[in-house]
């Protein structure tokens, strides 16, 4: 297990994270549901050698927290603690790698009940049908993004689920750990060597993967334009819009390109607010996120206005003032997030101009942007009585800008897809 320690005496806490390549994308479809729920079952049993309730009592009075995450391409553990509780935090990491969770009937029953209740709650949420349709269109109904149903829970193998979780945090030699904060090296280094360096290494490598040879997620973004409306029954009328683009990383190193995507996200979000809210008065807020998420809500959303603005930026480029604004916003977010100053980020910041930002817009998004995208709109389901009334008013047509139709909450989210997969494909090319 390799580690990197950064010392900053201004922090009154210690942050740490460890990651290893290889995640859920490596699983066959037949094992995906069981293994993806493994962390939930393991969490109920106790991944640190004790049941959660017992561990909570043991940590009373200490400021320490450690969690795990199983992602598509990586397994990670992360946490934070006060400088005085660093040893306790490292002990928890040691316990994570040396504990074998074994499913018990009671824990499995609790997890299955929680999962069923969550599924039923989602089915009652009008946003669920909308979100599921967005995933189905953008990911081609891939099993990795398909919503879990009650019938899927009946096929879960608890033993396989726990075995997979155990293997995810078994081999310390595949993990890289970064620790940053208010650290005294004379105290921290011996503790790191004792607890992280003392994790026993298995006789054979476990889940040892090369980053550039990871299995890509099984999906393909649509090659044509797709526009659909999803109607759901609602107590209060709401509307939400997701406008999605694929992102292709064609040159440069992967880390630099990912930083460019981050700057593009902040830039487009700022421009969407300026144009759709302050210029046209169409929305209250807009959000731009990477890899599906971050949906914001407002009163109305106009997809064509958004596409026109992005196309204008691709062809004419942003103003110098736009670049200055984005750099300031990014620096502020970076400082608030207590992130590490990495070389790739600094390189992108120093090279960011109106021309390089315009080049990134053309390089990463479809160009022109209106040739490949998907739009899914969530709208209230019209009652049968209203439909009957509209039948007799056949001379009227639906106007997507009519505030009576789009009353309530609406949203616009521009989403960048396929980030990791395309970046790795570019590196191979």
Judge contact between 389 and 185, C-beta under 8 A: no
Q: Report in angstroms the alpha-carbon separations of 136 from 143, 228, 327, 338.
A: 10, 12, 35, 36
Check residue 135 and give left, alpha or beta (phi > 0: left; psi -120 to 50: alpha). Answer: alpha
More confident residue, 168 or 119: 168
User: How confident is the model over 346-366, as a mean pLDDT?
Assistant: 85
Q: Which helix (H) or strand (E) holds 75?
A: strand 74-81
Q: Distance between alpha carbon 73 and the CA centroid of its chain, in Å?
A: 12
User: How confident is the model over 417-425, as a mean pLDDT?
Assistant: 31
Indicate if the pLDDT at residue 258 is higher than 80.
no
Question: How far apart, in whole angstroms, are the C-alpha atoms of residue 368 and residue 307?
Answer: 10
pLDDT in tens, 284-300: 566 676 653 223 333 33
% of the chain residues with pLDDT over 70: 76
So what's the pLDDT on residue 163?
A: 94
Residue 330's contacts (CB-CB under 8 Å, 6 or more residues apart) are 262, 263, 266, 349
Indicate if the pLDDT at residue 365 is higher than 60.
yes
pLDDT in tens, 80-100: 999 999 999 999 999 999 999
Judge contact between 427 and 256, C-beta under 8 A: no
User: How confident is the model over 219-242, as a mean pLDDT?
Assistant: 80
Indicate if the pLDDT at residue 252 is higher than 70.
no
Average per-residue pLDDT for the chain: 77
pLDDT in tens, 378-410: 877 765 545 444 433 433 333 334 333 222 223
User: How confident is the model over 111-116, as a mean pLDDT?
Assistant: 88
More confident residue, 220 or 417: 220
Helix (H, G, I), strand (E, B) or coil at 365: coil
So what's the pLDDT on residue 2?
A: 59
Where residue 418 falls among pLDDT bands split at 50, 70, 90? very low
Phi and psi (nearest 5°) for 104?
-105, 155
Indicate if the pLDDT at residue 17 is higher than 90.
yes
Judge contact between 263 and 364, C-beta under 8 A: no
Q: Measured on CA atoms in the order 31, 419, 40, 64, is the torsion positive or negative? A: positive
Helix (H, G, I), strand (E, B) or coil at 415: strand
Question: How far apart, in whole angstroms, are the C-alpha atoms of residue 12 and residue 47?
Answer: 27
User: How confident is the model over 66-82, as a mean pLDDT?
Assistant: 92
Does this model's pTM top 0.75? My answer is no
What DSSP assignment string belongs to 216-265? PPS----SS-EEEEEEE--SS-B-EEEEEEE----SS-HHHHHHHHHHHH
H helix runs in 15-104, sequence order: 29-36, 38-45, 52-58, 86-98
More confident residue, 20 or 339: 20
Residue 35's contacts (CB-CB under 8 Å, 6 or more residues apart) are 24, 27, 160, 161, 164, 165
Helix axes 105-124, 38-45, angle to 10 degrees: 130
Q: Which two tokens stand for residue 393?
A: 């008013």
Where residue 425 falls among pLDDT bands split at 50, 70, 90? very low
Where residue 168 falls among pLDDT bands split at 50, 70, 90? very high
Structural domains of the chain ordered from first start? 2-212 (3.30.830.10), 226-428 (3.30.830)
More confident residue, 168 or 108: 168
Cis preceding-peptide flag for 341 (omega within 30 of 0): no
pLDDT in tens, 296-317: 333 334 577 778 878 888 888 8
Question: How far apart, in whole angstroms, are the C-alpha atoms of residue 320 and residue 418?
Answer: 29
**Which span out of 90-104, 149-163, 238-252 was modeled with the highest average pLDDT?**
90-104
Instruction: Provide the total of helices (H) and of strands (E) in the chain, helices listed first.
Output: 16, 10
Residue 427's contacts (CB-CB under 8 Å, 6 or more residues apart) are 212, 254
So what's the pLDDT on residue 5?
A: 52
Beta-sheet strand order (sheet of 176-181) = 2-7, 176-181, 14-21, 74-81, 64-70
């Amino acid at each position: 297990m390799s580690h990197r320690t950064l010392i900053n005496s201004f922090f009154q806490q210690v942050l740490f994270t460890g990651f290893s390549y290889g995640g859920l994308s490596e699983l066959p479809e037949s094992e995906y549901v069981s293994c993806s729920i493994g962390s939930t079952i393991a969490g109920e049993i106790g991944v640190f050698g004790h049941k959660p309730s017992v561990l909570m009592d043991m940590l009373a009075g200490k400021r320490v927290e450690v969690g795990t995450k199983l992602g598509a391409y990586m397994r990670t553990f992360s946490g934070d603690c006060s400088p005085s509780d660093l040893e306790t935090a490292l002990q928890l990491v040691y316990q994570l790698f040396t504990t074998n969770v074994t499913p018990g009937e009671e824990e499995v029953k609790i997890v299955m009940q929680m999962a069923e209740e969550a599924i039923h709650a989602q089915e009652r949420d009008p946003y669920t049908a909308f979100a599921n349709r967005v995933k189905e269109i953008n990911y081609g109904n891939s099993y990795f993004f398909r919503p879990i149903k009650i019938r899927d829970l009946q096929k879960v193998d608890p033993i396989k689920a726990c075995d997979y979780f155990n293997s995810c945090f078994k081999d310390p030699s595949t993990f890289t750990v970064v620790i940053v904060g208010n650290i005294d090296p004379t105290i921290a280094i011996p503790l790191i060597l004792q607890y992280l360096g003392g994790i026993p290494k298995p006789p054979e490598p476990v889940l040892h993967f090369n980053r550039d040879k990871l299995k890509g997620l099984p999906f393909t973004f649509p090659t044509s334009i797709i526009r659909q409306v999803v109607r759901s029954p609602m107590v209060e009328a709401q509307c939400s819009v997701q406008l999605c683009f694929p992102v292709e990383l064609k040159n440069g190193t992967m880390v630099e390109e990912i930083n460019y995507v981050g700057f593009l996200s902040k830039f487009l979000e700022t421009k969407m607010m300026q144009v759709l809210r302050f210029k046209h008065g169409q929305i209250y807020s807009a959000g731009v996120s990477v890899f599906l998420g971050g949906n914001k809500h407002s009163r109305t959303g106009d997809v064509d206005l958004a596409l026109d603005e992005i196309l204008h930026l691709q062809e004419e480029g942003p103003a110098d003032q736009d670049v200055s604004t984005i750099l300031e916003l990014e620096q502020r977010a970076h400082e608030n997030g207590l992130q590490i100053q990495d070389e790739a980020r600094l390189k992108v910041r120093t090279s960011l101009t109106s021309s390089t930002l315009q080049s990134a817009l053309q390089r990463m998004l479809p160009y022109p942007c209106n040739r490949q995208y998907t739009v899914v709109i969530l709208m209230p389901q019209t009652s049968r009585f209203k439909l009957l009334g509209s039948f007799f008013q056949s001379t009227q047509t639906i106007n997507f800008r009519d505030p009576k139709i789009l009353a309530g909450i609406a949203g616009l989210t521009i989403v960048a897809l396929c980030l990791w997969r395309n970046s790795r494909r570019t590196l191979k090319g």
